[in-house]
A and B are shown apart, each in its own frame.
Chain A
Amino acid sequence: MGRQPRWRKYLLPVAFLAPGALFLLAFMAIPMVQAVALSFQRWNGLDTPSWIGFTNYTNLFQDETFWLSLGNTLLYTVSMVVLMSTLPLIIASMLNSGIRGSATFRFIFFLPVIISLTITGLLWSMIYEPNFGVLNEMLRSLGLGNATQLWLADKSLVMPSIIVMSAWQSLGFYMVIFFAAMQAIPEELYEAAAIDGAGVWHRFRNVTIPMLRSTFIVVIVLNTINGIKVFDQVWVLTAGGPNHASETLGTYLYRTAFGAMGSSNPQLGYATSIAMIILVISLIFSVIQIRVGQANEVEN
C-alpha cells in the first residue's frame, strides 16, 4: 500500500485537468499578471516599460475624460439594469399567461439576440443617420419633421440612442430568462392564490415577483457586468463621440491604447489602469452572482 495507490489517485485527475489548465495559464493567467504589472508602468508599446508606481491611477482620478466615461458607463449600466429587469419581465408574463402564439412572439423577440453587437451597431447607424436614416425619414413622412434629431451627433441624445439600441438587442435574452423562470413556478401557487380571490395583478405581485427573486438578481448582475465593459456597439456606432459624449470605460481604454484613427501616442500602461477599474467592478458583481448561484443550489 502507501505510495503506489496514492500516486495513481492523482494521475487521472491531473491528466484530465492538465490540458485546460495549460490553456488557462497561457492565455489567461499570464496576460492577467502582466496586466496588473502594466497598470503600474509607463509604456508606449516600443520602448522598455518603466515602473511608475501608482502614477497611472492618480492621473486617472484627475482625468476629466475618465470621469466622463465612467459617468456614461454608469448611466448605460443603470439604464440597462432598470430596462432589462422590467420590460422583459412584463413581456414574459404576458407570454406566460397561456395566450396562443407565444412561441412565435418569443422567436421574434429573440432574433436580435443572435445578431452580433457589431452588426447591431452598423444596422442602427443606418437607422439613426440624420439625413437618410430611416428613423428621421419616418418622422418626416408622418409629418413630424420637427421631431427629427441628430440622434448620434447630439450630445444629450447620443447615450439614450445607444441605450435604446442595446435594449433592442438584448431584450429577448432577458425575456427568455424570465420566461424560463416563470415556467418553473409551480402551478399550485397560482391556484391557491386564485382560490384566495387574488386577481391577475395580485397573483403577479404576490406569487410571480417573489418567486423570481433570484432571477432578478441574475438579470441585474449580468446587466451590470455587461454594462461596465460595454464596448462593441458603442465603438461601431460613435467611437465614443461626439467629443467624448458617448465615451465609455471600454472605448476610452481602447482609444488610449490603440488610438482612434491611428493616433501616434499609445499609452498602454495608462489604458491598462482603466482596464483594472473595469476588472474590479466586474469582480465585485461576479462574486455576488456566484454567491446567489450557490444560494440557489442550496435551496434546490
Chain B
Amino acid sequence: MTLYSAMRRLRISSTYLFLILLSMVMSFPLFWMVMTSVKPQREVFTQFLPRAITFANFDRVWNAMNLPLHLGNSLYVAALVIVIVVITSTLAGYAFGRMEFPRRNLLFYVFISAMMIPAQAILIPMFSYLNSLGLLNTQIGLGLSMTGGSIAFATFLMRSFFKALPSELGDAGKIDGCNDWGVFRHVYLPLSRPGIATVVIFQFMGTWNEFMFSTTFIRTPTLKTIQPALYQVVGRYAIDYTALSAGLLLAIVPILIVFMLLQKQFIKGMTAGALKG
C-alpha cells in the first residue's frame, strides 16, 4: 500500500513537473514579448528582465504607425462582417433548423458547401471581381469578400442551435396567436442569444485575425486593417524589438479582452466546428 501511494505521489508530481515546464515553454514567447515591450531600448539585448519599466515604446509605436487608425479600421471591417453574417445566418439557420419545406436538406448542403472552399481558391477572382465592382481597395469590399465563407459556417452553427430548441415552444406560441413570423421573432429569436454570441465571437476572431484578403485587397496604407499594417511596419522596426513588441502587444489587447471576458463562449465559439463535426 505504501508502495502504491508512493508511486501515485511520484506520478502526480511528475505530471505537475511536466505541466509546469511546458507552461514555461509555452508562455515564454509571450512573456518575453511583454518584457521586451516595457524595456528601455538599450537594455533589449543585455537584460532579460527589465531593470526599470518604461512605456516609451508604446508611445513610440502608437504614434509612429498610427495604431488607433488601424485598430479602428479592423473594428469597422469586423463590425460590417458580423452584422451581415449574424443577420443572414440567423434567418437561414432558422429556416433550415425549424421550417419544413421541400428540398430542405439539399439546399442546406448547397449552402454549407461554401465551408469547404479555402480562401486561396477565390483569392484571385475575388481581386478582379472587387475591382470590377469598384470595391477593390475599400473596407466595404474587404468586408464583403469575407462574407461568403463566413455565412456558410455561421448558418451551420445557427441551424444546429435552432434544431436543439424544443418545438413545443413554437406550438405554444401558435396557440397564443403568433403567426410563423411571430413565432420566430417572439419565441425563438430571444432564445437564440447564446448561439448568436457564439457566431459573433467566432466571426470577430476570424475577421480581426484575417491576413491574406486584408493584405491583398487593400493597398492604401491608411485603409489597412491591423494585421497587414503590422506586417508592413516590420521593415521599419525590424531591429527595434522594443517598439515591435509593444505594437504586437497592443494589437493582441482587443482580442485578449474579449477572451478574458467571455472565456467560455470564446472557446466554445472557436471549437464549435470541430466538436459538432
Residues of A208-222 at the interface with B, using a CB-CB cut-off of 8 Å, are 214, 218-219, 222
Contacts A13-B101, A20-B155, A31-B129 known; 9 new A-B pairs at CB < 8 A: A13-B99, A23-B88, A26-B144, A27-B146, A34-B128, A35-B122, A126-B245, A225-B118, A282-B116
Q: Tell which of A13, A118, A168, A222 touches B274, judged by Cβ atoms closer than 8 Å.
A: A222
The reply on A151 being an interface residue by CB < 8 A is no
Bound CA span A173–B273, Å = 12
Within 8 A of B (CB), among A81-114: 91, 94-95, 97, 99, 105, 107-114
- Shortest distance from the beta carbon of A40 to any chain B beta carbon, whole Å: 13
Q: List 10 A-B contacts (CB under 8 A).
A: A23-B151, A32-B121, A35-B124, A35-B125, A108-B23, A109-B23, A116-B208, A117-B211, A249-B120, A275-B123
Q: Does B61 contact A (CB under 8 A)?
A: no
- Cβ contacts under 8 Å, B30 to chain A: 111-112, 115, 123
Q: Which of A1-35 contact B (CB under 8 A)?
A: 9-10, 12-13, 15-17, 19-21, 23-24, 26-32, 34-35
Residues of A within 8 A of B (CB): 9-10, 12-13, 15-17, 19-21, 23-24, 26-32, 34-35, 38, 45, 91, 94-95, 97, 99, 105, 107-119, 122-127, 132, 134, 137, 168, 171-173, 176-177, 180-181, 200, 214, 218-219, 222, 225, 228-229, 231-232, 235-236, 249-250, 253-254, 257-258, 268, 271-272, 275-276, 278-279, 282-283, 286-287, 289-290, 292-294, 296-297
Verify B118–A229 contact, CB threshold 8 A.
Answer: yes
Distance A13 CA – B102 CA, assembled complex (angstroms): 10
Is B121 touching A35 in the complex (CB atoms < 8 A)? Answer: yes
Q: B26–A171 contact, CB under 8 A?
A: yes
Chain A binder among B50-58, B64-72, B90-98, B168-176: B90-98
Q: Mark B69-90, 1 if CB is under 8 A from A, else 0.
A: 0000000000000001001110
Most buried by A among B92, B122, B248, B252: B122
Q: Does any Cβ of A come within 8 Å of B29's Cβ?
A: yes
Q: Which residue of A lies closest to B45 (CB)?
A: A132
Q: How far is the CA of A231 from the CA of B118 in the complex (A)?
A: 11
Which chain B residue has the least Cβ–Cβ distance from A94? B15
The yes or no answer to B275 lying at the interface (CB within 8 A) is yes
Decide yes or no: A116 and B211 within 8 Å by CB, A21-B111, A108-B23 being known contacts. yes
Task: Please tell me if the beta carbons of A23 and B148 are within 8 angstroms of each other in the complex.
Answer: yes
Bound state CA distance, A33 and B30, in angstroms?
42
A219-B277 Cα distance, complex, nearest whole Å? 10
Neighbour of A257 across the interface among B92, B123, B180, B231, CB < 8 A: B123
Residues of B242-277 contacting chain A, CB below 8 A: 244-245, 248, 251-252, 255-256, 259, 263, 266-267, 270-271, 274-277
Q: Which residues of B contact A168 (CB under 8 A)?
A: 26, 29
| In the complex, chain B residues 215-233 whose Cβ is within 8 Å of any chain A Cβ | 216, 227-228, 230-231
Interface presence of B114 (CB below 8 A) = yes
Chain B residues with Cβ below 8 Å from A91 are 19, 22
CA distance A85 to B205 in the complex (A): 24
Given contacts A27-B144, A115-B252, contact A20 B26 (CB under 8 A): no
Contact residues in A for B227 (Cβ distance below 8 Å): 116, 118-119
The count of residues in chain B whose C-beta lies closer than 8 Å to any C-beta of chain A is 86
Contacts of A235 in B (CB 8 A): 211
Residue of A16, A250, A276 most packed against chain B (CB within 10 A):
A16
Given contacts A16-B95, A119-B230, A38 and B23 within 8 Å (CB-CB): no
B117 proximal to A (CB < 8 A): yes
- With A34-B129, A111-B27 in contact, do A180 and B234 touch (Cβ < 8 Å)? no
Contact yes or no, B91 A122, CB < 8 A: no
Question: Which B192-238 residues sit within 8 Å CB-CB of chain A?
Answer: 205, 208-209, 211-212, 216, 227-228, 230-231, 234
| Of the residues B18, B123, B126, B270, contact of A173 by C-beta under 8 Å | B270
CB <8 Å contact, B23 and A229: no
> CA–CA, A28 to B146, complex, Å?
9
Question: Does A45 lie within 8 Å of B128, measured CB to CB?
Answer: yes
Contact (Cβ within 8 A) A229 B87 = no
CB within 8 Å for A123 and B33 given contacts A114-B256, A232-B212, A293-B276: yes
The answer to whether B148 touches A24, judged by C-beta atoms less than 8 angstroms apart, is yes
Contact: B155 with A218, CB < 8 Å? no
User: In the complex, what residues of A have CB within 8 A of residue B147's CB?
Assistant: 23, 27
**Which residues of the other chain, A, contact B234 by a CB distance below 8 angstroms?**
122, 125
* CB <8 Å contact, B148 and A12: no
| A214 partner residues in chain B, CB cutoff 8 A | 277
Nearest residue (CB) in A for B229 is A118
Cβ–Cβ contact A20 & B145, under 8 A? no
Q: Is B239 at the interface (CB under 8 A from chain A)?
A: yes
Q: B121, B125, B152, B209 — which one has the most chain A CB atoms within 10 A of its CB? A: B121
Q: Nearest Cβ in chain B — how far from A185, in angstroms?
A: 14
> Are B117 and A105 in touch, CB under 8 angstroms?
no
Among B36, B44, B148, B231, point to the contact of A118 (Cβ < 8 A).
B231
Smallest CB-CB A-B distances: 8 pairs: A293-B277, A28-B148, A116-B209, A34-B125, A27-B148, A286-B116, A16-B95, A20-B88
